[in-house]
Structure 1
């Protein structure tokens, strides 16, 4: 498909924690019900102001108005907004290296020279993927793997100037996160070893990708950051510490980690110098899903060294963390840095799958200086799976100071906006039906991110793999 524009209406290691009581709820539960502009009812609870610490003032109203049906059947947006299709799976890469791969997932945008933007995009491909990332000499880790990243170069008007392979031969590249030195950390959401599924090498690593010059970073696994089912990462810009989420598919569920690099900051190569991997332990809290009250605060977070970061014999989440154990959570996904805190998302928890309790999505805030963990948002209760309001996934801070969340649940799929006041609105709705007219299905959104100047929201539809640039009256 063409890209024609279409109208639609070096820091010290943290000190040890000080003695404190285990946990205590400190905030009053607050429920917010907001219309999305699409006749939807959403229920969220939490202290939303905490989500926007250190950002510009968020929008003072509940969104940009109702979504306007797209006559081309791709993406519904509010009036005044427009989208451009930048790339679709199966189209030829402009580099001539092959086809645009399938399964568009996590993504980030970086400033380039002369007002250009480098958009780095994950492809969450397994060995069964329809279109794998083409192997390229010098950029391929394991030729048997079909995942990786592609990089788009855009001009100031979002015209695609180039599109190429940025890393290949990785597996199940789900999310990741940007670094302060303008590279992308792409994460493998798998623990498959060499010999499994035909792989020639072990997988489950983080790789660093320079979207402007991929050969500068190559295809080198950052092994000290651990081998597990990675989801997303966020870098503390002051200390260089990297926080990592694990989306393990079975019990015991994933952990929340921090990586203390030996060379905390300084650009490409700093993470390759190694470091220490630790997992979060909240005393007397083996499962985060058991916390059901927003504002619940834990003032004594501990960090425990991971016995075997490479998981040579046992997956990390199954390793021996001592008699006190370790803290797990189901579906740890999105992760971002805001103000002086790191935020991470648990998309959902289901007791019938092994969690301690049920929820429709949580957002947690960890304050490194205070060693404090707080549950700041709970998604739900789910009123209708055809409407937004469940299973948050990728998450980012918006140019207007609000929050954008990719929904990954049942029924219609949306990009949701959240204001500082807790108002929730639908920013976009996917219209590409991958089911049947009788039983429609829509591909999830992923990789929401903003251009460095805040003028464009970029977002992926996972399947069919489609990358959109959305412009309009962002304010």
Structure 2
């Protein structure tokens, strides 16, 4: 396992230096309404949980909604392993509907049950489950939402209230026992299983998908690729034939393109916050299904294409799309090192701007150790899931750049002598902002957190 950001900083003598990261934090909240900030110290120190599950600030409480291995209320089997990306949708009578990814590979402890009519590949262990909650966060129903997929990592909600779940794999039929090709996006209905089609959105590409964000005016879908080896992933956009056409409209097809930044082969080479590039080009992907060659290896013409390591989070803010490179390491083949970048693409101006950089000289307390899932918080600021080594937290980040702990996982998956904790994932808020939902990846646990949100 590679050295963590904290270990690198400790060795370099930067630990505790308290140097602020480069860039404007306010940039992360573009297009969101201003709201009352939480105090300088957030909601106060975390209080140890006597149940040994989840530490929260005083006044906050949690409810365990679902744990891996428990029976699904639908009777379809057991709650699967590896809880990952998640979204919350407005439900009936003040309730909430959750859709939850399961990043199951062939070695998964508990697979997503293969349910008739909802299974893409019987040998695929991944998929999604759906929970229906009442207004008090009591579970009314829990079922399989899609099955037979693989390595369902993140994704994103659509403006028409469905969930796009993304496979973070490129395995083809005949690999790892699969009977069908994988590496696709699937559309999942959070309300009714009968409206979910276990059919891949092939025109949106076959690659190691991570997350998506949709332009709410134009209907363009932006996609990130978290490729694990050189050449690293690309940043894509999908131009649907039926933009904003509602549920099922993405099956009508469209055009997949990859971003080319003229003169920039690797985004990690850009280290100056505020650096902007005009004239961004979008190049048609030669073979979106990657029948013979993975997309990132394909020939994009004389200008080549622009790569980046660990392209993960993606969200829409204001009139722009934001995407995250969680880290880059020259030892892995990147052009330069960083501990996180946030990029903004303005489609109106065709301009790409680097707005945030986490680097070796940044504050060790910032949530920059491979920040993963991210969501806008209703009280102002962000919530970020930490994905590194050691203790695992959900961190809050205020508009002024103040970082505070919101939750800490207490489920020890190591030993008493060498404890370890599962990462957090899928942080999201109820439509009314009263509840934060978050997953512990291992052991798979879904929490509902309520309290004095400001």
Distance 1:151 1:78, change over 3 A: same
Aligned residue among 252, 256, 271 for 1:292: 271
In the alignment, structure 1 segments of 5+ residues that lack a partner are 1-38
Matched, 1:468 2:450: no
Aligned residue among 355, 358, 362 for 2:341: 362
Partner of 1:207: 186
- 8 A Cα contact 2:18 2:364, kept in partner: no
Alpha-carbon separation, structure 1, partners of 2:22 and 2:310: 19
Q: CA deviation at 1:362?
A: 1.2
Partner of 1:35: none
Alpha-carbon separation, structure 1, partners of 2:60 and 2:138: 17
After TM superposition, the structure 1 = structure 2 runs for residues 426-437 of structure 1, keeping only pairs within 5 Å, are 426-437=405-416
Aligned residue among 26, 46, 49 for 1:49: 26
- 8 A Cα contact 1:217 1:268, kept in partner: no
TM-score (norm 2): 0.93
After TM superposition, the structure 1 = structure 2 runs for residues 154-303 of structure 1, keeping only pairs within 5 Å, are 154-303=133-282
Q: CA deviation at 1:274?
A: 0.1
Alpha-carbon separation, structure 2, partners of 1:194 and 1:305: 25
Distance 1:154 1:60, change over 3 A: closer
Partner of 1:61: 39
Q: Alignment partner of 2:268: what SS?
A: helix
Distance 1:316 1:141, change over 3 A: same
Q: Deviations over 1:72-101 (max 9, x none)?
A: 111111111111111000000000000000
Alpha-carbon separation, structure 1, partners of 2:203 and 2:266: 26
* 4+ residue runs over 3 A deviation: 39-43, 380-389
Distance 1:396 1:54, change over 3 A: same
Matched, 1:116 2:95: yes
Q: CA deviation at 1:41?
A: 6.0
Distance 1:40 1:86, change over 3 A: farther
Aligned pairs, number: 437
Alpha-carbon separation, structure 2, partners of 1:362 and 1:431: 29
Alpha-carbon separation, structure 1, partners of 2:18 and 2:424: 20
RMSD: 1.7
Alpha-carbon separation, structure 1, partners of 2:294 and 2:318: 33
Alpha-carbon separation, structure 1, partners of 2:380 and 2:360: 26
Partner of 1:24: none
Alpha-carbon separation, structure 1, partners of 2:73 and 2:51: 25
In the alignment, structure 2 segments of 5+ residues that lack a partner are 1-15
Q: Deviations over 1:278-308 (max 9, x none)?
A: 0011111111111112212112211111000
Q: Deviations over 1:353-388 (max 9, x none)?
A: 111111111111111111111111123437898985
TM-score (norm 1): 0.89
Q: Deviations over 1:113-137 (max 9, x none)?
A: 2112110000000111000000101
- 8 A Cα contact 1:40 1:388, kept in partner: no
Q: CA deviation at 1:468?
A: 0.6
